[in-house]
Amino acid sequence: MQDNHIISIKKQVHETVELNNDYTLPDYIVDVRKLVSCDARVVLQNVYGTANSFSFEGEVNYSILVICEDNSIKNLIYSEEFSLNGNGCGCEVSVHDCRLESNVARLVSPRKLNCRSKIVVTTKNNIEESTDTRYCGLGMPEAEFTTERKMAKCGYLMFFDEKVQNQHASRDIELTSTKDEIASIVYCRVNTYISERKVSDGKLFLRGETVAEILYENTNGNYIKHYDRVPFNDIIENSNGAGAHMCEILISDIKAAVRNNSFGEMKIIELDYTYSIRCRFYIEKESEVVADVYSTEYDVTCKCNSLAAMKLNSLFSSSLSVNDSCSTDELADGDILEIVDHNATVVSVNIKPDPAKSRVIISGDLKFDIVYKAEEYGYLTVTRPYKYEREFECTGEDVYYEHCVNAQPISCTIEKGRLLLNAELYFNVMIAAVSQYEYIQEAEFVGCNSENNSPVIIYYPNKDDTLWQIAKKYKTTCKDIISANSLNSDSLDGIKVLLLPKKKKKSIYNAII
């Protein structure tokens, strides 16, 4: 019998590493009075994997916003390296995912910050299982020639990674004539959000938006938040006809400098950064497994096995606007005169598919970090829940998903004593149905306990009988039953009586011939 194979990507290994270190301020930074917010990104640098182990090397880049004793706002950059060793899945590491699950910074003293983060590394593997029926037991080679096999088709997803690295991007951002000149840039954050994916002629076309958030101090000593938005377009060659693509844009090496415009004013920001496209391709395939087996001459004892296989169900990119408000009296002491800076971060994601209602619910918490100006600069944090629902079809026993959820702050304003918050969430989600397939792993043939010498059996089918069940029970074949009864197909609809011919026992000599 020819080998058949099925691929499962259900097997995963999760490993975590936690960092907890102090960062002492350099001498040129004034003592810190308040810590406002802490953003962090994880950068994976080297991956080594074998069948039984893997090793990851990378770093966490912290971007910490603080208010100093001289009432100035500074952005502190701190990087920390990490390494992680773990056990493999039993085969070569083929897909890895490294995410920052949590990060926090606290002010230990005016000259020292404590930074903590938790990194979760997940390895996923294409597990190949053979479904070849193997024979063992009494040494009867003729049993192979009297075996009837029932095959079943099953769909599955196979994946592989492709990464487009070190793409370079740069542009000039010029302030309008109504804006004051720039004295210094506090920070610059860049994120790219994918809103559309399209496959054509073997290429994957990505479209979205790149948003640069820039906080700068002008020559009058005021802090200004500036957004710059440009369309994002890129192409990945040779997508190999994949049925799904989970893509994520990773931004690194952000540099922002100020120079004069044609009027000699410091109003142009030179933005420079690199980005890489992490694209995970999922290819839909189909295979056959041996679902049932019996012999027309021997009793067969089967050892069965089951395997989880995934079939693509839904793949979507979408967005959700989150709008909320709260009274400023509940948040801060004194009157808030102005919102200086705000940032939105997705702090939790929960995906709960409900196959019974054909819906998937994505929920979690969205955190707003806000810097405001009152009598002096202060900060506050507001956390709000979000919820997104989408229809989908799923008939599997379980559901598997890949997701990427990003937040873009839109606005934060004060109106009649209330703080108005607005952010946009970007969802990229893949849902797959996970089904369990039963297949024959081993079959053992033993001699029959009884012998019925009647060449033909008269059988009256029951309502739920199938031709396969009848043939298996009476040690004949579906083909012989169809021939003996002149049936047009294997359907038993309307059939009241069947003649079941029995196979004559073959000798080893005849079986070889």
Find how far residue 332's CA is from the centre of its chain: 39
Domain assignment of residue 4, yes or no: yes
Kindly state the DSSP code that residue 357 receives in the 8-state scheme: G
The per-residue DSSP string of 206-260 comes to: EEEEEEEEEEEEETTS-EEEEEEEEEEEEEES--TT-SEEEEEEEEEEEEEEEEE
The C-alpha atoms of residue 210 and residue 202 are separated, in whole angstroms, by 25
* Number of domain units in the chain: 2
CATH assignment of the domain containing 490: 3.10.350.10
The per-residue DSSP string of 301-323 comes to: EEEEEEEEEEEEEEEEEEEEEEE
CB 244 within 8 A of CB 315: yes
The C-alpha atoms of residue 185 and residue 64 are separated, in whole angstroms, by 14
The C-alpha atoms of residue 79 and residue 62 are separated, in whole angstroms, by 6
The C-alpha atoms of residue 509 and residue 513 are separated, in whole angstroms, by 6
Collect all residues with Cβ–Cβ distance below 8 Å to 66 and sequence separation of at least 6.
32, 33, 34, 35, 36, 73, 74, 75, 76, 107
For 453, half-sphere exposure in the C-beta direction (CA atoms, 13 angstrom radius) is: 0
The boundaries of the domain holding residue 75 are 1-127
Of 127, 150, 172, the one marking the end of a domain is 127
Find how far residue 34's CA is from the centre of its chain: 36
Task: Supply the pLDDT for residue 247.
Answer: 84
Task: Supply the pLDDT for residue 307.
Answer: 76
Kindly state the DSSP code that residue 376 receives in the 8-state scheme: S
Domain assignment of residue 49, yes or no: yes
Helix (H) or strand (E) holding 130: strand 127-130
Domain assignment of residue 461, yes or no: yes
Q: How many helices (H) and strands (E) does the chain have?
A: 3, 23
CB 370 within 8 A of CB 253: no
User: Which of 415, 441, 503 lies closest to 136, judged by CA?
Assistant: 441
The C-alpha atoms of residue 239 and residue 206 are separated, in whole angstroms, by 12
Q: Which amino acid is present at 475?
A: K
Kindly state the DSSP code that residue 467 receives in the 8-state scheme: H
Task: Supply the pLDDT for residue 5.
Answer: 60
Domain assignment of residue 55, yes or no: yes
Query: Exposed e or buried b for every residue in 238-273, given b needs 16+ CB within 10 A?
Result: ebeebbbbbbbbbbeebebebeeeeeebbbbbebeb
Q: Which residues pair with 28 in a beta bridge?
A: none
Q: Which residues pair with 80 in a beta bridge?
A: 60
Domain assignment of residue 20, yes or no: yes
Question: pLDDT by residue for the chain (513 residues), tens digit each?
Answer: 444 566 565 566 778 899 999 999 989 899 999 888 888 888 877 877 666 777 888 899 999 999 999 989 999 999 999 988 877 655 555 556 788 888 889 999 999 999 999 988 877 766 666 666 665 544 456 666 678 888 888 878 877 767 776 789 999 999 998 999 999 999 999 999 888 888 888 788 888 899 999 999 999 999 999 999 999 999 887 666 667 788 888 888 899 999 999 999 999 999 999 998 888 888 887 878 888 888 888 888 888 887 777 888 888 888 899 998 888 776 665 678 888 988 898 888 898 887 777 888 999 999 998 888 888 888 888 899 999 998 887 766 678 888 888 898 888 888 888 889 999 999 888 888 888 788 887 777 776 655 555 678 889 998 889 999 999 988 888 999 999 998 988 889 888 899 988 765 544 333 332
Domain assignment of residue 94, yes or no: yes
Residue linked to tokens 């002491």: 333
Of 76, 94, 127, the one marking the end of a domain is 127
CB 476 within 8 A of CB 500: yes
User: Which of 428, 353, 362, 427 lies closest to 393, judged by CA?
Assistant: 353
Output Rg (C-alpha) for the chain, integer angstroms: 32
Q: Which amino acid is present at 269?
A: I
Of 127, 143, 163, the one marking the end of a domain is 127
Task: Supply the pLDDT for residue 444.
Answer: 79
Domain assignment of residue 491, yes or no: yes
Domain assignment of residue 36, yes or no: yes
The C-alpha atoms of residue 261 and residue 181 are separated, in whole angstroms, by 10
The C-alpha atoms of residue 82 and residue 21 are separated, in whole angstroms, by 12
